[in-house]
Amino acid sequence: GAVVSQHPSWVICKSGTSVKIECRSLDFQATTMFWYRQFPKQSLMLMATSNEGSKATYEQGVEKDKFLINHASLTLSTLTVTSAHPEDSSFYICSSRRLAGLYEQYFGPGTRLTVT
């Protein structure tokens, strides 16, 4: 199946700093990527839809100025958590959508963010 990678797999940062997470679609071009957040023992929550070459669409309640998304190429989307706080500690997962294929979305392995 298609492969989506994320980097880093885990990161620890201090409160007030910014952290960038990369999501790469390794074997197909993805015009659309999605970012999810998952708190412990909870389900995945869609944060935003990232479209190549245009502004991301954020879900209700997600601060676009805090979670900056850039989708500059067909294989790379980045999520930057700005001025991170302990409550931003979570598991961040991206997915890529291929227009033609068996099952539209392929998920990355996730990035564990811990803010101290």
Partner 1 sequence: DAKTTQPTSMDCAEGRAANLPCNHSTISGNEYVYWYRQIHSQGPQYIIHGLKNNETNEMASLIITEDRKSSTLILPHATLRDTAVYYCIVKPTGNQFYFGTGTSLTVIP
Q: Is 95 in the site for partner 1 (CB under 8 A)?
A: yes
Which residue, 40 or 53, has its beta carbon nearer to partner 1? Answer: 40
| Per rule CB under 8 A, count of chain residues that contact partner 1 | 23
Q: Which of 60, 61, 87, 103 is close enough to bind partner 1 by CB under 8 A?
A: 103
Q: What is the C-alpha to C-alpha distance for residues 78 and 42, in angstroms, rounded to an integer?
A: 23
Q: Which of 26, 39, 83, 104 is close enough to bind partner 1 by CB under 8 A?
A: 104
Q: Is 25 in the site for partner 1 (CB under 8 A)?
A: no
3-state SS, one letter per residue, for the chain: CCCEEEECCEEEECCCCCEEEEEEECCCCCCEEEEEEECCCCCCEEEEEEECCCCCEECCCCCCCCEEEEEEECCEEEEEECCCCHHHCEEEEEEEECCCCCCCEEECCCEEEEEC
Binding mask 33-62 toward partner 1 (x if CB under 8 A, else -) reads -x-x------xxxx--x-------------
- Binding site residues, partner 1, CB under 8 A: 1, 4, 6, 34, 36, 43-46, 49, 91, 93, 95, 102-110, 112
